[in-house]
Each structure stands twice: as C-alpha cells, then as structure tokens.
Structure 1
Amino acid sequence: MNSANRYNTPSAKRLKREKTTVSNNSNSDKDPVHVYCRLRPLEEGSEPSSCIKILSANTLGLYTPESKSVTKEVHYKFKHIFTGFSTQSEIFNHVAYPLLEDVLNGKNGLLFTYGVTGSGKTYTLTGNENDPGILPRTIDTLFNSIEGYQAPKCVIKSDKMNGFEIQAEDDALQDRLQACRNYGKTPKANRKGSGEKLHYVNAGTRIQNINEMNLYSVFVSYVEIYNNSVFDLLDDSSGKTLQNKILREDRYKNMYVNGVVEVEVKSAQEAFDAFNAGQFRKKVAATALNSGSSRSHSIFNIRVVQLEQSTINSEGQPAVPSENYIKVGQLSLVDLAGSERTNRTNNIGMRLKEASSINNSLMSLRTCLEILRDNQINKNNRLVPYRDSRLTFLFKHYFEGDGTVKMIVCINPTVDDFEENVQVLKFAEMTQDVKISKPEVRYNTIKKTIARNKENQNPIKTKISSSFTLLPEVPMVKFNVENWKECQSAIDKVLNILKLRSNKKLQISKEMTERQQDLRKKLVHLNQQCVLTSAEIKSLKTVIHKEKAKSKNELIKMRDLEAVNQELEAKNEELLSVVRCLKQTINEKDLKINQHLFEKERTKQRLDLAQEKMSQELDAKLRRQRDHLNSVMKAKDEKLRMVKGILESELPPIEMNMIDIDNTIADLTAQNTVKSVGSQLTQTSKTHTPTTSQVHRRNITGTPAPRSRRSRSAGEVWLEHNVIKPCPLGTVMQPTMKKRKSVSKLDKASDITNPKQSKYCLVAQEPDTEGELETKLYKADIVPTCGGGAQVIFNDVERLKQESPTKSS
C-alpha cells in the first residue's frame, strides 16, 4: 500500500491505541465461529489513501483518517487475514477445503461473506472463469474426489421433506426417462439461464480421505432472500415470476425451504449450468458505488448423499449388510448483500426499499449473534429472535450446533469506506466470540429425543430409508457327472445360497410386516390429521371469504374517498387561485392606500406651512395697522385737545370749518372701530380675516353689523360628525338630536357653512385610564362670520360610560 508509510511517522506513534480482546473462554463441546478477513486490493493507476494496516498474519489496525478531529488506532484479530495479493486458491485451501472434507464425512458447513457493497464479496465466492472463486473450486474438487464412485442417477431421490430415499432400479429408470423427456420439452433459455455456459479452470484438487466403499450423489439448490421473502432461482414451473417459498423444520430440527428444487448433478459442468441459470434470475442492479450490486442474499446449497454398498465376505463374495443406510452432508455458500448508507448511494424508489430490507436483515443477524454471545458469556437464557428475518430463521440450526460456521469479512481499505469498515469490523469481532456446539453433541441430543419418541409410540417421519436391499444371486453351476465330488460341492453351495436367500426372505417378510403395520399407523395418524386439517381449512376459507368481502367493501369505500378527495383537491385549487387573486388585489389596494396617505401627508404639511406663513403675514399686517391707527388716534387726540382748549378758553371763538370737525369725529369713530376689530381677531383663531371694506361696513358709532340669526322656533339642526363607528355600550342615557345630519368625513366647506345648521357634534370613542370603553360627544355652536364663512366654537363635552357600583375606588 502506498499510504502505509505514513503510519510509521513519529506523529503516528503518539496516537491513542485501543486494542480489542478476544474471549478465551474454551469449552470442549463448542467451537467458535471462524472469522477470516480479506482486503480488497487498491485500484491501480491511482494512489488512494488507506485507513488499514496489517500488523501480523491475524491482526490488523484500523486508523482514523487525518480529516477527523480525533485520531486513534484500533486493533482487530481474526483467524487469518488475506491481503490484497492473496490468491483465490489460497483462500479456498484455508477456508473451504476443510468444510468440504466435513461434507464428505456426512457433516454440515456454512460459509458466508460479509461486508459493505463493493468490497469483493461476490468475487471472493464466485471469481471468474480464469480465476475461479470458492464455489467453482468446491464443485471441481468435489467431483474430482468422487469420480468413479457415483451412484446411478435417480437411485437416490429427495422426499421433499429435507430427506432422501432409495428407490428400485425400475423406478429409477422410469425417472431417468421422464427427466430426459422433460429436458427435451424445456426451452433452452430456461435450461441454460442466459444461454452461455461457464467453463471454470479446474485446478485438479482432490479430497484424499474418502470412503471408497460408498456411492455418492450430489444435489444442488439455489435460493435468494429478496425483501425478506424466499425465492427459488431454479424453479422453472412458475415462469418468469418467482413464487415466495416458506420455511419449515424437519424431524432433526433443521430448517429448509419447502418445495425447493434440488437438481441431481453428475458432473461439475451440470452444477455450473444450474448455478448460471440461478445467476440469470438473481436480483442485481447498479448503484452509485457498484455497477453490479447484489440486491438480495443468495444461498447455493451443495448436498452430498452417501449410500453404503454391499461388503465383501471372507470367501470373496459380496455379502448383504444387515441394514442399508444413507448419510447426508450439506455445504451452504452464502453471498450476503452489502450494507449500504443512503447518503453515499443516493438510492430512491425500489433501490431504497431494497437497501432498507438488506440493512434490516443484516441487523437481525447481528442481533441474534449478540444475544447468543451474551447467553454464553453471562449464562443467560434470553430468547434469540431468529424469526425476525428469513435469513436468520433459515440458518437457525447452524447456530444451534448443526455444523461448522465460517465467515469471510471483505474490507475495502480506502478512507472513503472508513465509517462502514468500523461497523463491519465490530460485527466481525463480536461474531468470533460466539461458540457453536459441536455436531456430535447435537446429534446425541437429537437421537435421545427420537428414542424417547419411539418409546411413546409417536409416529414420526424417518429421514433414513432402508428399503433398498439385495439378495445374493444364485450362481450358475455346471454338473460334471464324472466327478461326483465337484457336483456335490456345487450342490451344497447352491443349497447354502438358497438357505441364505430363504432366511433373508423371512427377515425381509418380517421387516415388511412390521413396516406395513408402522405404515398403517402412520396412515391412520395422517388421516386424522387430514380430517382435522380439512376442518381447519374450511373454517379458514370461511374466514378468508369474510375477509375478502370486508376487503372489497373497504376497497369500495377507499375508492369513494379517493373520488371525494379528488373533488376536494380540485375545489381547494380553485379556492387557492381565488385567494391568490384576492391577495393580489389587496396588495394593489394597499399600495394605492399608502400612496394616498403619502400624498395626504404631503398636502397636510404644505397646508400647515401655508397656514403658518399666512398667520405670520396677518400678524405683521395687524401690527402695522395698529401702529398706524395709534398714530392717527394720537393726532386726533391732539386735535381734540386743541379744540377743547379753544372751547374752554376765554378767547373769542375761532371759526372752524365744519368739515374739519366732521373729519375729526369720523377719525375718532374709525379709531374705536379698529380697536373692536382687533380685539375680535385676537380672540378667534383660524377664522376668515375681514377686509377693509368689511370694516367700513360697520356703523359710524362703532357697533358691528347685526348677524342674521335663525328663529329659535324653527328648532336646532345638528351636524353629527362620526369619525369612527362607535361600539354600542348599552347605557340608558343616550344623546338626543331630533334634527341632525350625519357625516363621517368633512370633504367640503358647505358641510359647515350651511345656514340651516346651528349645532355641531363630534363623536369619538376610546378607552379611559382604567381601560373602560368611553364615548365622548364634543358639542359646539356654528356661528357665521362676516365674510360669509362659519366658525365652530366648542362649549360642552358629554361622556357616556358604564361603571360597576361595587367597584372599589
């Protein structure tokens, strides 16, 4: 690895080290789960940084990338670690070869690959034609070892209940002929999968220690677990659409797929053809991390059935054994789908559903192993939830001691997969702490259970069948009359064989009688079960019929609700469009109102400025007129004083021009008139200013011109100015205005200057200091002015409100 040298720097030595420990609890009756690790080689042509360093043959270190804030180092131990330079042959010899030896000895084995997507699980298991993986090498090694020791085809037949039986040669011949007919009728695409044969390189490996006295038959099956449902990849009866299979348990507490197709193969090529047909149907899709990502867990089962042959006696003749039996060994090769993180794959739709199902099944596997380890370490008796997933439920008997369990953890050492590698290595560390009971211990327990069932005379299904029994053949004897001794010995030999056949026939008849009785008991028991099952099926059919009717009604209701929902959605869209139009209209009106308020404010400011300027000009003009009149009055006073002095003097009277006296009197009158006009202008504010012509309209005596008043008998007419619409208070006392004119806004001057109106009332409503709502009526008199206008003089305020008599002051 190009990036491995950076772990030898002094800074790397200062990292915090955490070392995991492997449990040392040993038990002679249990074996641990063997966990191996394989590192995927880094891509050529690039230098990606690595987060894993191999420390020894069974220890590796996981280092935190430099981009993380906290750096640490964790060590993990395995049974063996395969580097990126390890060959497929090396992995097969270390892992799969011992399992195949156990299978040929009648034992079971489970091997599954685990890791994140794109870490090399499928390649480790299958490889390619030039560099085969574990599965092709296992098949080649198996047929290399049993070559020449295979039983005739169809002699050993599956009983469809996870067991096998031996049938006669005639039945086997008929089955072979039927298989040939079916093979000719089967389309080529269904027989060969994709139509292309796989030719793997055969390394010539053999198993040395096999029993050459036995006959062997090999059966293969291929299933997948997709979205927590089991499908048979070799089932051609259902066409392109695969049917969901159920899981069942046989008499030895082993789980199997009910109705699975088990193909008897007589060569490695036939096994490869079956595997290729299953691969053609397997769920595979492209994701962001892997162009050929497995979307399901695939299980390829290889079952080797051994049949014991007749032994040879001391005379060199074949001797019939006391009883024939078969021995079955099974090897399950599991390619687990890779765990995925949505933030990296960006899966949506069906890919997201598949990823969720994959992660849930892997989590169930991890939970079951954690509970098993906890029960073994802490001596607990917690229930292991095998039924949470089809994956764990199918391999339940393996974890309970029915064979050897091995796991290959595939790791992609790049920094991008650091987070996933942490979880994978934690799972691997926990898995190898789980102890599996040895098969011998489990089988002894099962045998005791079967014996106990026999004592209770409970009819049980048998997995081993001994109906295939041979009798010694009668030899051909030639009588030589000349040599009587030879004839006598030949006759004795034939008589011995006939006696042996007779004794064996009696034994077979006795055995057949016993089997007939056992079969009758089984048939009676099955008949009882059939009757009960029929009744149960009838009741279930009734329930199903009711549920279907209920489901139909619910479907009708659902359709009605969907139609109503569509109508409501259409109405909702229409209302939303109306709301949008109204909002747009409101926005336009708000904009116009804001513009109007802005213009009104500007107009008000201009009026205020003009009014202030006019008031200043009026004040200046009044001051000038007052000064002028004062000077004139002084002059007139001086003249009057002179006239008074002349009149009172004893001097002879001076004739004065009458015109001058009239002028003097007129000046005095004008002076008094100006004073009265000035005092009136100072008392009223913002009223019409009288012109000079209006001042001279007054009488010479200085009294103002009389106002035209309306007769009191005509009654008072009120001008009611409602600035707001007041809320009713419910008070008993209410304002009384018999003749009135109500306005909400004073838009023109004629509203005030109307001569018919003499009273003014302003209505306002606001909360008082204590928060109580109060209506105020501001009353005033409308007085006409000399200039033809009118002024409003407020003289009274009425308040209307309610108070509680018990309210504290």
Structure 2
Amino acid sequence: MTRQLKGKPPRRHPPKKPSSNQTDPVGVYCRVRPLGAEDEECCIEVISSTTIQMHTPEGFKTNRNGEYKETQYSFKKVFGVSVSQMELFEHVAKPLVDDLIRGKNGLLFTYGVTGSGKTFTMTGSPGQGGLLPRSLDMIFNSIGPYQAKRYVFKTDEKNSIEIQTEVDALLERQRRDNNLSVPKTPSTRLKADPEIADMIKPEETSKSDGVDDDSSYSVFVSYVEIYNNYIYDLLEETQEDAIKPKWNGGGTPVRQNTELIPPQSKILREDQNHIMYVAGCLEVEVKSAEEAFQVFWRGQKKRKVANTRLNRESSRSHSVFIIKLAQAPLDADGDNVLQDKNQISVSQLCLVDLAGSERTGRTGAEGTRIREAGNINQSLLNLRTCIEILRENQMCGTNKMVPYRDSKITHLFKNYFDGEGKVRMVVCVNPKTDDYEETLLVMRFAEMTQEVEVARPVDRPICGFTPGRRHRNQAFKDELSRRLEERGGPIDPDMPPAANTLILSLPSLPSCELTDPHDDITLPRLIEALKNRQRIKQMLMKDYNKIANMMKPVLQELDTSLISKDNFIQEQNGKLIEKDKIIQGNKAEIERLEKKTKMQEHKIDILQKTTKIFEDDKRSLQHELETREQRLQRELSEKRRMEQRMHGVISDTQFKWEKECERRVNALQLEMQNKLWVKDEKLKQLKAIVTESKTPGRPEPPPRQTQPQPLPQPQHQPRSQRPSKEDRLPPKRSASPSPVPTTTPVRPRHRRSCSAGGEKWVDHKPSSSMDLGTVLQPVIPNAIQVSAPSEKALSKCDRYVLTHQEVASDGEIQTKLIKGDVIKTRGGGQAVQFTDIETLKQELTTVPRRKRKSSEGVSASGDGALTDVETRCSVAVAMRAGSNLGPGLEHHAVTKRRKP
C-alpha cells in the first residue's frame, strides 16, 4: 500500500534484495462502514476501487502551511459502503478456500478500531452472512460427495491426523453412539441460534473446481479465544450452571450448590513439522456446513464481550476459528482410503477476528475493562512490531529477531509469516470524525503490512495412482447394475469380475410366466434352458480352470521375476532414499552455510562501518591533537613573550618606584626638618617666656606665628653652618606673660595592615588572642572576623589572615599575621594558599635623661627648678607620650615581614 499527500510525489522505498524463492505480498483490503447518522461528518472518501482519501476534520492538527492535510492510501481492493457480503467473499476469502482444498494453508484476519464492523465482516447477520459461514458453505459444497465416513480420519494430541480402517471406524461410531447420554430437553432461549441457511441465500452459494475426485476428505473445526494474553477453548465442555437439580427419591427435585469450575487456559506447542498449535484444544469433526456453523455458534456464545461507550457488544478478546481439512488418496480400486499415513495431506484456514484497538478515555472503561483494553492494545502493538521487523529484514537485508513470543496472537501465527500459507487482512474503518486519530494509526499499520512479503507455499505431491479411479469404479458398478436389470439374476460380489462377465455371456432365460396350471411346455423349456446354461457354465469353468492351470507356471515365473525385480527396485529405492537423504543433508548444510554467510556478511558490514567510524574518530582526534599542540606552542611562545614583556615592565616599574621612593623620602625629610624647626621655634619662645617671667619689666613678647616659613633646603646645609637655637628664636617682645601652652594629647591610632586593600578578608582571630592595647594594632577593613574558619565565610572572601600570638625569646609577646589567598577547588569547595607572614613585636626602651649644663646658669639647689628649660620640656613631652607604659619608658612597634 502506498500513501502520498495531495500534490506531492509518492515516497520511494529502498530497493529490495532479490529472493531465490517466490513470494507474495500480504493482501490488504479495506472496507468502509456506513455512517450511523446521515448528518454526521465523514472523514473518509472512496475515490477509486483501490484508493481512499482521508480529510482532516476541523479541530485537528494541520500541516506547516496551516492547511488541512488530505492523505491518500492505496489497497489491493477498497470496498465501499454499498458492497455486499457476497462480493467481499468473492475477492477476499474464496481464493483462500480454493487453496485449502488444494492442500495449502491460509490466514485471514480483520483489523480496525472498536465499532468499525470487524465482527459483522467475519460473521455477518441473517440474510447477510459473513466470510466465515460462506467459507464453510463453499467447503462442503465442494467436498460433499467425497467425504469419508465419520472417524475414518482421527486426530491425535500432537497436531496430526491418523487413518483408521472401516471396521475400526464402525466400532468407534457404535461406541460413541452408546455413550451418548439421554438428550436434554431444550431450554427456553430468548433468541434461537441462527442457521446457515438463514445466513446465506440459495443463489449465493459457491463451489470450488479444484477438488480431487480420487481423494477422501474430512473437516475438523476448533474455536479458541485469546483473552488477556491467555488462550481458552470455546468448544470445551464446562459447567455453566452453578445450581443443578438432584432427585431425593420422592419425585421432587432438590437443588444444591455446586462449585463453578473456571475454564483452564491452553498452551502453545510446536509439532514435529515445527508448526505452532494449541495443545489440548478440542477439534470437532463435522460433516455439513450446518453442523460446522452450529459448533461455531456454540463457541461464539462463550466469547468475552462487554458493553462500552463506543460499542454495545464490544469484543474483549481475539477469536480464532480454525478449519482443518484432511485428505488422503483412495486405493488402486478406488473403493477405500489408502492406509498410508505419509499420504495424508492436512491444510487449515484460520479466520481471526481481532479485538478493536481503543482509548480508555473515550470508552470510559474502569476496572476490568481497563485491563482488557490494555492487553488488547499491547497484543496489537506487538503484532505491529513483528510486522515492522519483518519489513525491515526483507527490505534492508538485516537479520533481526522477530519477537513472536511476546504475544500469543503472533506466536500462534508465526508459521504463516515464515511461509506456511497466504496471509490476508481486511481493514475495517469507520468514517466518522471521532475515530480519525485511531483510523490514522490503522492506516499506517496497513501501509506497513502490505510491504511485507510471505513465501509462496509449495504444492503438495500427487499420489502415483492413475487418476479417475473413483469414476471408473462407479461406472463399472453402474454398468453391472444395468446389465443385471436387463438379463436378471444376481451378481456375486465375491466373484472376480471375469467370472461375472462369463455369467453375463450365457444365453438368456426364456419367459417363465405360468398362466395355466396344466401348462407342460413352460417348465420343461425352463428346465432345458437351465440345464443348457449349467452345461455351458461347467464347460466354461473347465476351460477357465485349464487356462488357469496353464497360467500358474507362467505366473510363478512372472512372480519370481517380479520378486527379483521388486528386490532390485527396493534396492534401488533404498539407494535413492540414501541419495535423497544425502541430498537433503547437503541442502540443509548449504542453507545453513548460506545463512552463516549472510550473517558473516552482515557482521563484516557492521565491522566495516565500525572501522570507518573509528578511523574517522582517529582522524578527527589526530587533527584535534595537532590543533591543540599548535595552540599549546602558540601559548608557550605567547607566555615567553609575556614573560619578557613583564620583566621589562617590572624593571621599568621598579625604576619608577625607586625614583618615587627617593622623591618621597626627600619630601619626608624636608617635612621632618620643617617640623623640627617649628619645634625649635616653640622651644625658643617657651624659653624666652620663662626667662622673661623672672625678669621684671620685660618687654611684651612678639605675636605668635601660627604658620612658620620652612627653611630653604635645610637638609643640604652642614651642621656647622646651621644657625644656633638662639639665632633661630624670634625677637623678644615685651608683653604680658601668657600661660604655657599645653601640648595636644596623643590619640592612639591603630596600625593598618600592609595588605589591606579593596579585597574582602577573613580575619581569623582565635578566642585565646590577647588585646595588648598598644598604639599600633593591625586593623583590616572590609573583613569578616571569625574565631574558627568556616566554608561559608571562605566562600564570600578572597583573602585570609590568621592572627597568632606567642612569647618571644626576650619574654615579650610576638604577634604573627599569616596571610593567604582563598581559591576554589575542583570539587566545589575552598582552599587557602598561604603567601605571606607579617610579624609584630613589642619593645620597651629606656628614654635617656638629658644632663644639666652648668653653663646655662641654672641653680641645682633651692626649689628644684631645672636649669635647662629645653631639656625639661623635651623630657616632659616624652613622658607624656609614654605615660601608659610607666615613667621613663617608650612604646615601639617593630614590624618584620618574610615570605613563607
């Protein structure tokens, strides 16, 4: 089946591999069901006898251009709403029935969604019989005169047929008739079972022309269903009533409860010919179409059906009706069936009514119905998977395993797809728009199924007897009967045909009718004629015996020669059989080697593809490796150039910083000299004030200069050329004494760490750290202070510092600042890489006291006044700066830095 969009060319399939055997594609037919209501929208249009077109209804997805898709599907034959059941049978099932009579197998199944008309197509209704009753009618119309007596053909439990003699068949018939129970009174039923005469009109009967007149036939039917992936026999006698009557001896029936035995599931097995069959399934021998149809209807009433939202009587299982036809040739005389099991030919036709695929959301199923729908959809999905793999193996030359065993329906019919018979499918569709999506899936499955090819079955061998034996034997009997009627007298059936011919050649008897009791002529004439016939008969018998005696030696010689020839023929036949076995073994070996060769070729193709993939990967990896090596070389050369450039930058920066440091040192020296000069000026003024306070009538001191001018280049003047302290003092002014100005109190300032910058730090100070209270303390801005490091704190910062205190060798407390960088690890954590250690140490030094100079004219006695005011002022300032450490001490912070 081909599918194409309107206005687009058909899709091309890959070329198929040639096959040595002849194959036939799976025949797929389509039947369109009429709409239930006239005003209902239709989504399927039959445009020809082989093509239908599907219109996308409103509300469904469109193509990329926003237009509604119109997809066409082609089948082997399309049957519209006006096609009759008879026409459908003529095209679909009649060829399969012809093949069945010729000894070939066939499989016919209906497929579609729920409510698409599958059961009606298979079974039909009164006056409109479906494929199954018409197939039964055609079979018995064809083989009716040639059927064997009942129980001549007998089934065993291994899917094979045996032949019994006429005597054994007669005994078994008598035994079965004696074992039959008293017929039960027919119970009242709401509706009588339909007869096959009601299903098929007399003018619609058909007959096959391929019946072998020299064979004897017998038909066996079986009926099973596959429910929830279990096989049940619908013809098996089970206890249907849970209550049975029991007589108590008084004439009144008493009812008692009995246990209802559920039906047992059957299993699938493989016979000696590797054909799958249902083990333990009841096979009923039928002799007419009416009997076969009644057997089918008896099992049909046990089939699982349920009422759903989409169908009033929805099939909940797959039903399989198997018609098995056994035929065997007649003997050389054309009277009895040949007692040779190897000459039996068994063919079967399977009529399958698949359950419809459905969506539980639309059917409103609950509980058991959901489970049934799930099993139905799963089995249909497995059927689709098997068809897909078969199609891929045939079209692409692969050798994938087909999962027949995943479902009972595919496992039962795996032999048909492997070449045991023809396969045909009738796709039933409902044109209403509600089933549009499900119908699309059915169409895709049908499209794929038609591309699968099945091997054509071979014809069965023909028996070596002369054809027309049955007709010749019947013609001979009719001729004997006619001659007997002409001449009168019985014919001994036990005598040989030659003796009966001689008897018929005797002179005819005269009329023996007596009209007068005194007639003396008729009886003597009759007696004379009888004596004459007796004499002639004796003469003929003597001649016959004489000729027979003469022929005995000749016959013995012929028998001897025939025996020798038979021995020779048997010997030759044995050799031929051995040669045939050798040939069969060679053929099997050749087939095995061919399969092995194909498998090895497939493996070689796979290995070649794998090798090509690996070579491509190798080339790509080599190219990538070369690219990365070139990139690495470029990066190394770039790194070297960067190092050289950085060395130059470092040299330039170092030179610039040296110049900058030198400039800053000079500036600081100038600033310090200016401060010293200011300090000296203040001391001079203080000295002048003190001196003038003791001298009466001193002049007023000059006004205080708030911003003295720095000396020009004091750092470059030698000490000998510098002015003295008295010269540097401003001129004395006669003013009233003013109070001695007090010095500005020293405010302790904390020392900023050398590494403090714009980065965020983790300041790790253990709880045992001591606050020394000194002026120079390490303070890090923008830091998180913790007593113990944590991953959360480290993840928020870039640098890390650990404050460690210990006692130095001189007994003073020494503080170490251990610094490092916080880096992220590959596992998502943080690690600290230490880069620097800064050491802070306290020293206590004694401030030297200045000696008093006697030349200054200050008396050491009296009220204890100091002779040197400048020395006293400097000592006072030093004492005030170090007052927190004790008298005469000064606090210094020594900083030492080293790399770890």
Normalised by the size of structure 2, how large is the TM-score?
0.48
The secondary structure found in structure 2 opposite 1:288 is coil
Please report how far the alpha carbon of residue 175 of structure 1 lies from its aligned counterpart in structure 2 after TM superposition: 2.0
Instruction: Give the letter for the 1:384 counterpart.
Output: V
- Residue 205 (structure 1) aligns with: 206
1:84-105 deviations in Å (ceiling 9; x for gaps): 1110000000000000000000
- Residue 54 (structure 2) aligns with: 62
- Residue 163 (structure 1) aligns with: 160
Q: Mark the CA change 1:69 to 1:400 in structure 2 (over 3 Å): closer, same or farther.
A: closer
Matched, 1:31 2:24: yes
Instruction: Give the letter for the 1:376 counterpart.
Output: Q
Q: Given the alignment, which residue of 250, 253, 262 partners 2:271? A: 250
Please report how far the alpha carbon of residue 184 of structure 1 lies from its aligned counterpart in structure 2 after TM superposition: 2.7
The secondary structure found in structure 2 opposite 1:252 is coil
Whether the 8 Å contact between 2:330 and 2:336 is mirrored in structure 1 is no
Matched, 1:368 2:386: yes
Please report how far the alpha carbon of residue 433 of structure 1 lies from its aligned counterpart in structure 2 after TM superposition: 0.3
Matched, 1:292 2:337: no
Q: Given the alignment, which residue of 418, 425, 429 partners 1:400? A: 418
Whether the 8 Å contact between 2:5 and 2:70 is mirrored in structure 1 is no
Please report how far the alpha carbon of residue 201 of structure 1 lies from its aligned counterpart in structure 2 after TM superposition: 2.6
Matched, 1:267 2:288: yes
In structure 2, how many angstroms separate the alpha carbons of the residues matched to 1:310 and 1:24? Answer: 51
Q: Mark the CA change 1:273 to 1:493 in structure 2 (over 3 Å): closer, same or farther.
A: farther
- Residue 73 (structure 1) aligns with: 70
In structure 1, how many angstroms separate the alpha carbons of the residues matched to 2:268 and 2:187? Answer: 25
In structure 2, how many angstroms separate the alpha carbons of the residues matched to 1:134 and 1:414? Answer: 25
Alignment of 1:298-697 (within 5 A): 298-312=319-333, 325-440=343-458, 475=496, 482=536, 483-489=538-544
Q: Mark the CA change 1:209 to 1:772 in structure 2 (over 3 Å): closer, same or farther.
A: closer
Matched, 1:51 2:43: yes
Whether the 8 Å contact between 2:215 and 2:329 is mirrored in structure 1 is yes
- Residue 221 (structure 1) aligns with: 222
1:193-215 deviations in Å (ceiling 9; x for gaps): 99735343343211123112211
Please report how far the alpha carbon of residue 321 of structure 1 lies from its aligned counterpart in structure 2 after TM superposition: 9.8
Q: Given the alignment, which residue of 102, 105, 121 partners 2:102? A: 105
The secondary structure found in structure 1 opposite 2:280 is coil
The secondary structure found in structure 1 opposite 2:423 is strand
In structure 1, how many angstroms separate the alpha carbons of the residues matched to 2:452 and 2:161? Answer: 32
Q: Mark the CA change 1:335 to 1:322 in structure 2 (over 3 Å): closer, same or farther.
A: closer
Greater shift, 21-30 or 203-212, is seen at 21-30
Matched, 1:42 2:35: yes
Alignment of 1:4-23 (within 5 A): 19=10
- Residue 599 (structure 2) aligns with: none
1:206-248 deviations in Å (ceiling 9; x for gaps): 1123112211111000001111111111111676621111111
Q: Mark the CA change 1:422 to 1:323 in structure 2 (over 3 Å): closer, same or farther.
A: closer
In structure 2, how many angstroms separate the alpha carbons of the residues matched to 1:214 and 1:374? Answer: 42
Whether the 8 Å contact between 2:110 and 2:352 is mirrored in structure 1 is yes
Instruction: Give the letter for the 1:254 counterpart.
Output: I
Aligned CA-pair RMSD: 4.2
Please report how far the alpha carbon of residue 488 of structure 1 lies from its aligned counterpart in structure 2 after TM superposition: 3.4
Whether the 8 Å contact between 1:18 and 1:72 is mirrored in structure 2 is no
- Residue 116 (structure 1) aligns with: 113
Instruction: Give the letter for the 1:38 counterpart.
Output: R
Whether the 8 Å contact between 2:105 and 2:347 is mirrored in structure 1 is yes
Whether the 8 Å contact between 2:6 and 2:71 is mirrored in structure 1 is no
Whether the 8 Å contact between 2:386 and 2:402 is mirrored in structure 1 is yes
Please report how far the alpha carbon of residue 142 of structure 1 lies from its aligned counterpart in structure 2 after TM superposition: 1.1
Q: Mark the CA change 1:286 to 1:369 in structure 2 (over 3 Å): closer, same or farther.
A: same
Please report how far the alpha carbon of residue 177 of structure 1 lies from its aligned counterpart in structure 2 after TM superposition: 2.4
Instruction: Give the letter for the 1:141 counterpart.
Output: M
In structure 2, how many angstroms separate the alpha carbons of the residues matched to 1:169 and 1:193? Answer: 43
The secondary structure found in structure 2 opposite 1:114 is strand
Please report how far the alpha carbon of residue 55 of structure 1 lies from its aligned counterpart in structure 2 after TM superposition: 2.0
1:116-149 deviations in Å (ceiling 9; x for gaps): 0000000000001211000011111111111211
In structure 2, how many angstroms separate the alpha carbons of the residues matched to 1:289 and 1:18? Answer: 37
Please report how far the alpha carbon of residue 68 of structure 1 lies from its aligned counterpart in structure 2 after TM superposition: 2.4
Please report how far the alpha carbon of residue 487 of structure 1 lies from its aligned counterpart in structure 2 after TM superposition: 4.1
Instruction: Give the letter for the 2:158 counterpart.
Output: M
Percent of matched pairs sharing the same residue: 43
Greater shift, 193-202 or 13-22, is seen at 13-22
Q: Mark the CA change 1:473 to 1:244 in structure 2 (over 3 Å): closer, same or farther.
A: farther
Q: Given the alignment, which residue of 117, 136, 143 partners 2:140? A: 143
The secondary structure found in structure 2 opposite 1:365 is helix
In structure 2, how many angstroms separate the alpha carbons of the residues matched to 1:326 and 1:193? Answer: 44
In structure 1, how many angstroms separate the alpha carbons of the residues matched to 2:188 and 2:559? Answer: 46
Whether the 8 Å contact between 2:233 and 2:266 is mirrored in structure 1 is yes
Whether the 8 Å contact between 1:39 and 1:411 is mirrored in structure 2 is yes
Please report how far the alpha carbon of residue 170 of structure 1 lies from its aligned counterpart in structure 2 after TM superposition: 2.5
Please report how far the alpha carbon of residue 431 of structure 1 lies from its aligned counterpart in structure 2 after TM superposition: 0.1
Please report how far the alpha carbon of residue 294 of structure 1 lies from its aligned counterpart in structure 2 after TM superposition: 0.5
Q: Mark the CA change 1:435 to 1:23 in structure 2 (over 3 Å): closer, same or farther.
A: farther
Whether the 8 Å contact between 1:88 and 1:131 is mirrored in structure 2 is yes
Whether the 8 Å contact between 2:50 and 2:74 is mirrored in structure 1 is yes
Please report how far the alpha carbon of residue 15 of structure 1 lies from its aligned counterpart in structure 2 after TM superposition: 6.9
1:673-705 deviations in Å (ceiling 9; x for gaps): xxxxxxxxxxxxxxxxxxxxxxxxxxxxxxxxx
Please report how far the alpha carbon of residue 475 of structure 1 lies from its aligned counterpart in structure 2 after TM superposition: 3.0
In structure 2, how many angstroms separate the alpha carbons of the residues matched to 1:219 and 1:322? Answer: 20
Q: Given the alignment, which residue of 76, 80, 84 partners 1:83? A: 80
Normalised by the size of structure 1, how large is the TM-score?
0.54
The secondary structure found in structure 1 opposite 2:93 is helix
Whether the 8 Å contact between 1:191 and 1:277 is mirrored in structure 2 is no
Q: Mark the CA change 1:501 to 1:50 in structure 2 (over 3 Å): closer, same or farther.
A: farther
In structure 2, how many angstroms separate the alpha carbons of the residues matched to 1:227 and 1:190? Answer: 32
Whether the 8 Å contact between 1:192 and 1:274 is mirrored in structure 2 is no
The secondary structure found in structure 2 opposite 1:76 is strand
Please report how far the alpha carbon of residue 507 of structure 1 lies from its aligned counterpart in structure 2 after TM superposition: 10
The runs of 5 or more residues in structure 2 that have no matched partner are: 63-67, 241-260, 462-492, 504-533, 571-766, 769-782, 788-801, 806-814, 819-900
- Residue 667 (structure 1) aligns with: none
Please report how far the alpha carbon of residue 342 of structure 1 lies from its aligned counterpart in structure 2 after TM superposition: 1.3
Instruction: Give the letter for the 1:156 counterpart.
Output: F
In structure 2, how many angstroms separate the alpha carbons of the residues matched to 1:498 and 1:195? Answer: 67
Q: Given the alignment, which residue of 165, 177, 182 partners 1:180? A: 177
Whether the 8 Å contact between 1:339 and 1:362 is mirrored in structure 2 is yes
The runs of 5 or more residues in structure 1 that have no matched partner are: 1-12, 445-471, 512-730, 733-768, 774-802
Instruction: Give the letter for the 2:372 counterpart.
Output: E
Whether the 8 Å contact between 1:311 and 1:321 is mirrored in structure 2 is no
1:735-766 deviations in Å (ceiling 9; x for gaps): xxxxxxxxxxxxxxxxxxxxxxxxxxxxxxxx
The secondary structure found in structure 1 opposite 2:129 is coil
Q: Mark the CA change 1:397 to 1:187 in structure 2 (over 3 Å): closer, same or farther.
A: farther
Q: Mark the CA change 1:344 to 1:248 in structure 2 (over 3 Å): closer, same or farther.
A: same
Whether the 8 Å contact between 2:162 and 2:341 is mirrored in structure 1 is no
In structure 2, how many angstroms separate the alpha carbons of the residues matched to 1:195 and 1:48? Answer: 35
Instruction: Give the letter for the 2:162 counterpart.
Output: E
In structure 1, how many angstroms separate the alpha carbons of the residues matched to 2:345 and 2:100? Answer: 10
Greater shift, 72-81 or 207-216, is seen at 207-216
Instruction: Give the letter for the 2:311 counterpart.
Output: N
In structure 2, how many angstroms separate the alpha carbons of the residues matched to 1:376 and 1:385? Answer: 16
Whether the 8 Å contact between 2:216 and 2:337 is mirrored in structure 1 is no
Whether the 8 Å contact between 2:32 and 2:431 is mirrored in structure 1 is yes
Q: Mark the CA change 1:233 to 1:181 in structure 2 (over 3 Å): closer, same or farther.
A: farther
